[in-house]
């Protein structure tokens, strides 16, 4: 069976995004930045810390998953108002795949909501449908 245009998602022609490193997705209310063992190891190595030391300082157990801790007020522990993300090259998958999370691309209205909060959404590099789907799948796999 051949796929038809109507089988394709609304973003079949792709979407533009370029991180401006503004911090909109890193700051504000409390939330979770989910991390797995590989991400914890990568972040620890990037910071030059032993995994156990890094985990004690920056990771918390939430039910049966691990999340980075937050600063008071909800900002990411690795967000610096002057320097931006201090772990950007090693940032978690959740951060790497923003804004192409499943809940942000389900409908055009979801994408417009993201565009209202994220200045990088709707500008910059054009991501293909395949790249967007791959990013959403990486988030879903966590």
> What string of pLDDT tens digits covers the 142 residues of the chain?
445 555 789 999 999 999 999 999 999 888 999 999 999 999 999 999 999 999 999 999 999 999 999 999 999 999 999 999 999 999 999 999 999 999 999 999 999 999 999 999 999 999 999 999 999 999 877 7
- What are the sequence ranges of the domains in the chain? 17-140
**How many Å apart are CA 95 and CA 118, to the nearest integer?**
13
Per-residue pLDDT at 5? 52
**Is the bond leading into 60 cis (omega within 30 degrees of zero)?**
no
**Strand extents, DSSP E, 57-130:** 59-62, 65-68, 79-80, 84-85, 121-127
Per-residue pLDDT at 6? 56
Residue 99: C-alpha distances to residues 63, 74, 141 (Å): 25, 19, 16
Report helix angle 37-47 to 51-58, nearest 10: 100
**How many Å apart are CA 132 and CA 17, to the nearest integer?**
11
Per-residue pLDDT at 1? 45
């Amino acid at each position: 069976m051949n796929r038809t245009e109507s089988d394709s998602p609304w973003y079949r022609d792709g979407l533009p995004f370029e991180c401006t490193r503004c911090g909109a997705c890193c700051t504000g209310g409390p939330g979770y930045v989910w991390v797995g063992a590989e991400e914890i190891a990568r972040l620890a190595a990037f910071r030059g810390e032993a995994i156990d030391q890094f985990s004690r300082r920056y990771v918390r157990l939430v039910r049966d998953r691990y999340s980075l801790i937050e600063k008071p007020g909800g900002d990411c522990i690795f967000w610096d108002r002057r320097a931006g993300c201090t772990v950007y090259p090693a940032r978690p998958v959740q951060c790497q795949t923003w804004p192409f999370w499943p809940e942000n691309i389900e409908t055009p209205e979801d994408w417009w909501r993201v565009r209202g909060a994220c200045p990088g959404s709707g500008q910059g590099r054009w991501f293909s449908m395949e790249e967007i789907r791959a990013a959403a799948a990486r988030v879903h796999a966590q």
